[in-house]
Amino acid sequence: MPGDLAERAVVQKAKPEIRDGFKFRAGHVALDLAGTLAARFKPSPRELLAHPSDLGRWLIAAEMTDAMPEVTQTDVALARTLRESIYSLVLARIHHKALSDEARRALNRIAAEASAVPQLGKDSRIRVSGNTPGLLASIARDAILLLGGAVSKRLRQCEGESCALLFLDTSRSGERRWCSMSGCGNKFKIAEFRRRQRLNPTGSKS
């Protein structure tokens, strides 16, 4: 049936939230980069961009580039600086706090570098050509447009307990609360269900 086909096409188009071990739930590449320090609020956060090859894999998983780019340890340090700047500035925007000068300057500095160039392929796909600092400069520019534009009203931090992920709320209502419905959203629903059961174990309606 045509309806089924159309539905299947939508399902096929939806990209997995986790690609090559990295989470892509944020709806914006700059916010996905911010999520590469896992368990940020826990006593021992996990660095997902530990080695140059990690950053190369992330750039491919983020669809910033098709082929493994050359990545140096300096590029890794640059990516982490960009990531921490984005995280700090987005949190400040969400909570209506003053922006850190250090983070703002770092973001602007990285964005001012020569950025990678998007090219349109025959298949209508975008391919970005450029070196790793160029790809990071592109992300920094996108982050500036995100932070300084009207869309910044839709920046959110996941409400999941101890989840530090940031995301862009593109829902119609603007009331999205979790980085992922199947992750933090589901955990919340289960916790709510248990809480209600404890309050009303017989399940009787009052």
Binding positions for Zn ion, rule: CB under 5 A: 158, 160, 163, 165, 179, 184
Residue closer to Zn ion (CB basis): 162 or 200:
162
The answer to whether 116 touches 59, Cβ cutoff 8 Å, is no
Residue closer to Zn ion (CB basis): 102 or 192:
192
Residue closer to Zn ion (CB basis): 56 or 160:
160
Residue closer to Zn ion (CB basis): 60 or 181:
181
Residue 183 Cβ vs Zn ion, minimum distance, rounded to whole Å = 6
The answer to whether 138 touches 130, Cβ cutoff 8 Å, is yes
Residue 112 Cβ vs Zn ion, minimum distance, rounded to whole Å = 32
Instruction: List residues bridging with 117 in a β-sheet.
Output: 129
- Tell me how far apart the alpha carbons of residues 191 and 194 are, in angstroms, rounded to a whole number: 5
Residue 49 Cβ vs Zn ion, minimum distance, rounded to whole Å = 19
The answer to whether 119 touches 129, Cβ cutoff 8 Å, is yes
Residue 185 Cβ vs Zn ion, minimum distance, rounded to whole Å = 8
| Identity of the amino acid at 10 | V
Backbone angles phi, psi at 18, to 5 degrees: -115, 120
